[in-house]
Copies of this chain bind each other. A is one copy, B any other.
């Protein structure tokens, strides 16, 4: 339980950091979608370790195998299985962690819950699990693009206290990919990279904020009450490793405005489409997309695993000190960008299908 996400476009991820590999089964994918392994690999490469000097040095090509669900380059409508083998594993780096709990990591809670744990590299709690999400997200993006021209673009908005000024309505993927920190503002990007470099040298870690925009989202996606679009997005994004906060549109800052200041007035544009003048709603009203850009932000804490020595206890509860030897990211933000995009795409794709089923059966 808990390893499946989505109601109609439904993914199940599997695998641990060390062991046979990680991957995903995608059920409910529409048939006849052309997908090349390169489409998936492009996104996996944005996520993979070792892609730059500011990410973990673990060497993984994360080459994906499509095990099932495709035929002659097209989806069959049956489950698509994507498998990535673990290659550059170094269990010996983690032998100390078989006994000692890393502070603010999942070691102690996994032991408390299951009474057993694959201590090699974090096991199931490793960010390696997100390979399956990113691979599935690549397919979701393709469907969204094909069905409605939707594009989903994430980027680093803030590293620690260094915040970039970025216009979510205009930002492009090329701008995001133009530098290793994935901040589409080039000047701020340099500052961020310097800060991460410094942090790495200090054997410490830092966090920040990823912002993500979805453009060209059709009106009407999302379901009232529990499956409000913002609630589904919140769960999706908050389920990523190290995520501690989520906000949509005006978010926490919006609580400091009055209703008169905060409300988005309606108008009708030149094409006759009902629009809003401002977008403090972040593209969602009453849990349902209103056709404006969906804009959300996610807070990622500083990486828990750090090289600096910290006080902790071992499984027996005895006090000890730990200085992590495993390879880890000084800052997860650059690699979190494709993860956030993937989760947003999965939610939108699922709700695109759900909306089509309920509201477009008899009205077409």
Tell me if A263 is interfacial: C-beta within 8 Å of chain B: yes
Stretch at the interface among A40-48, A49-57, A170-178, A349-357: A349-357
Residues A332-364 near B (CB distance < 8 A)? 352-364
Tell me if A302 is interfacial: C-beta within 8 Å of chain B: yes
Tell me if A280 is interfacial: C-beta within 8 Å of chain B: yes
Tell me if A185 is interfacial: C-beta within 8 Å of chain B: no
Give Cα distance in the complex from A347 to B188, angstroms: 40
Q: Could you say which residues of chain B place their CB within 8 Å of the CB of A352? A: 361
* CB contact under 8 A between A285 and B227, given known A1-B28, A69-B14: no
Task: Please give the number of chain A residues whose Cβ is less than 8 angstroms from any Cβ of chain B in the complex.
Answer: 161
Tell me if A250 is interfacial: C-beta within 8 Å of chain B: yes
B363 touches A115 (CB 8 A): yes
A356 touches B356 (CB 8 A): yes
B8 touches A27 (CB 8 A): no
Q: Could you say which residues of chain B place their CB within 8 Å of the CB of A355? A: 113
A15, closest chain B residue (CB): B68
Q: Which of B204, B245, B354 contacts A247 (CB 8 A)?
A: B245
Most buried by B among A116, A125, A209, A226: A226
Give Cα distance in the complex from A320 to B10, angstroms: 40
Closest Cβ–Cβ distance, residue A49 to chain B (whole Å): 18
Q: Which of B1, B79, B256, B287 contacts A358 (CB 8 A)?
A: B1
A281, closest chain B residue (CB): B104
A226 touches B32 (CB 8 A): no
A249 touches B258 (CB 8 A): no
Closest Cβ–Cβ distance, residue A44 to chain B (whole Å): 17
Q: Which of B118, B206, B224 contacts A259 (CB 8 A)?
A: B206
Closest Cβ–Cβ distance, residue A104 to chain B (whole Å): 4
Tell me if A312 is interfacial: C-beta within 8 Å of chain B: yes
Q: Could you say which residues of chain B place their CB within 8 Å of the CB of A104? A: 259, 262-264, 280-281, 285
Q: Could you say which residues of chain B place their CB within 8 Å of the CB of A291? A: 112
Tell me if A123 is interfacial: C-beta within 8 Å of chain B: yes
Most buried by B among A109, A231, A249: A109
Q: Could you say which residues of chain B place their CB within 8 Å of the CB of A77? A: 113-114, 116, 358-359
Give Cα distance in the complex from A28 to B361, angstroms: 12
* CB contact under 8 A between A357 and B359, given known A125-B286, A209-B252, A287-B239: no
Give Cα distance in the complex from A277 to B352, angstroms: 39
Q: What are 25 inter-chain pairs, A to B, with CB distance below 8 A?
A: A13-B226, A21-B67, A71-B123, A76-B114, A76-B118, A78-B124, A104-B280, A104-B285, A106-B286, A115-B359, A125-B287, A146-B362, A147-B362, A160-B256, A204-B258, A204-B260, A228-B239, A247-B252, A257-B302, A261-B302, A265-B311, A277-B311, A353-B358, A356-B360, A356-B361
Q: Given A23-B67, A113-B222, A244-B250, 6 more contacts at CB 8 Å?
A: A28-B358, A31-B116, A109-B284, A109-B290, A206-B258, A232-B235
Q: 9 closest Cβ contacts across the A-B interface?
A: A106-B286, A2-B223, A2-B227, A205-B259, A245-B247, A235-B235, A357-B357, A20-B67, A109-B288
